[in-house]
């Protein structure tokens, strides 16, 4: 059975990476959710994809790293989605974990590029420890050095290695990295049957992103993919 991830929650129904978005996804019966973490100026873990806030407010050109949590919580990110979400703000990871049932599988992506958040790995592990949430969790990143730091702190935690560009034999790269990788997360545009088979032969699961069309999802399932990240949960009803 494929493990399909609601990408940033149910982002077509509520502002992405917010508590309402995750609640919508859970209400649809999702088994897995993907979310992104960054650090504020005063070192609080918050759940947000973009490093700047322009997406939510054209006049809010600040970066998350330049704002304290108190300052960030003054910014309305919900009204740009629609008026029903006016007043919604970027949540902390603590807030999200308080609302996510323990049977929901969480893929937490460390957004460490282009901004490098020194110490984000330690704060993430501390947060997960505080909530006792090491089960049913996967840590992923395009920053593979961040994954190395996570593994050094918690050797057995599942790690997902993200790739954007096509590289030669990423399954070999993963196996030679010194990391205990659970899954490879490629851009879906170049994910084919051969890619999946090569990863499986190395013992890695394959979770491509971002698959939003039913035909492409059906094709990947036929290739033997282990799951996908999608903004459109309707594709999963095939």
- The verdict on whether 144 is a catalytic residue reads no
* Among the listed residues 43, 216, 25, the one whose alpha carbon sits nearest the alpha carbon of residue 106: 25
- The verdict on whether 7 is a catalytic residue reads yes
Catalytic residue, chosen from 49, 51, 144, 200, is 49
Instruction: Concatenate the DSSP letters of all residues of 17-36 into one string.
Output: TSHHHHHHHHHTT-SEEEEE
- CA distances 184 to 56, 67, 68, 174, 191, Å, are 30, 33, 34, 8, 11
Tokens of 31: 């088994």
Sign of CA dihedral 167, 34, 41, 75: positive
What are the E-state strand segments in 40-193?
45-47, 105-110, 137-141, 159-162, 181-185
Helix axes 120-130, 144-153, angle to 10 degrees: 50
Residue 162 backbone phi and psi in degrees, to 5: -90, 140
CA angle at 198 for the pair 185 and 150, rounded to the nearest 5°: 40
Q: Three-state SS for 144?
A: helix
- Catalytic positions, written as ranges: 7, 49
């Amino acid at each position: 059975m494929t493990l399909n991830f609601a990408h940033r929650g149910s982002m077509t129904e509520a502002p992405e990476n917010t508590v309402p978005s995750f609640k919508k996804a859970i209400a649809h019966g999702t088994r897995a959710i993907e979310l992104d973490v960054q650090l504020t100026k005063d070192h609080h873990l918050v759940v947000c994809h973009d490093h700047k806030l322009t997406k939510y407010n054209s006049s809010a050109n600040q970066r998350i790293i330049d704002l304290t949590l108190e300052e960030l919580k003054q910014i309305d990110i919900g009204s740009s989605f629609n008026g029903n979400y006016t007043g919604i703000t970027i949540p902390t990871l603590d807030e999200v974990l308080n609302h996510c049932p323990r049977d929901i599988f969480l893929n937490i992506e460390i957004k460490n590029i282009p901004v490098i958040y020194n110490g984000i790995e330690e704060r993430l592990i501390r947060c997960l420890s505080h909530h006792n949430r090491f089960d049913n969790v996967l840590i992923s990143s395009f920053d593979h050095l961040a994954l190395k730091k996570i593994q050094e702190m918690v050797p057995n935690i599942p790690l997902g290695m993200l790739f954007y560009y096509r590289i030669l034999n990423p399954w070999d790269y993963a196996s030679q990295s010194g990391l205990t990788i659970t899954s490879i997360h490629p851009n879906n545009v170049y994910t084919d049957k051969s890619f999946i088979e090569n990863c499986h032969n190395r013992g890695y699961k394959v979770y491509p992103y971002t698959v939003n069309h039913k035909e492409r999802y059906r094709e990947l399932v036929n290739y033997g993919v282990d799951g996908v990240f999608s903004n459109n949960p309707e594709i999963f009803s095939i």
